[in-house]
Amino acid sequence: DGHGMVMSIRDIGKLKWNDAKAACDELILNGYNDWHLPSKEECVLIVKNPSIFKLGIQRDYYWSSTVSYNYDAWAFSLERYDLERKQKDYSQFVRAVRTY
């Protein structure tokens, strides 16, 4: 229907939450500058795609943009298919997405 979501083909790295959010917001890739840290709901959509592991996804936690509490945000494990609150000052993997 002309709408969808794409994910960058490489991780940005392993960053603290504030740095991860900024890195995604500032990313310019393939001529696009509208990348963002995926929401908790977008993370669920990402893992439902069976080809995701062909893109070099780490079998570890990735940050989502969804905040849980002042010091926590949701992170998603692509190996365990679960969400867990992590302290924002922990470093987790980061992968940007964009919607169209």
**63 pLDDT more than 90:** yes
Residues 6+ apart with CB under 8 A from 46: 5, 7, 38, 52, 76, 78, 97
Give pLDDT, residue 12: 94
Between residues 88 and 10, which one has the greater pLDDT?
Answer: 88
Mean predicted lDDT score pLDDT of the chain: 88
> What pairs with residue 6 in β-bridges?
98
Q: Is the pTM of this model over 0.85?
A: yes
Interval 85-97 mean pLDDT? 95
pLDDT digit string (tens) for 47-56?
A: 777 666 666 7
Q: Where does the chain show beta strands of DSSP type E?
A: 5-7, 13-15, 61-67, 72-77, 82-87, 92-94, 97-99
Distance CA 35, CA 78 (A): 20
Give pLDDT, residue 1: 57
Between residues 19 and 44, which one has the greater pLDDT?
Answer: 19
Q: How many residues can be counted in the chain? A: 100
Interval 75-85 mean pLDDT? 82
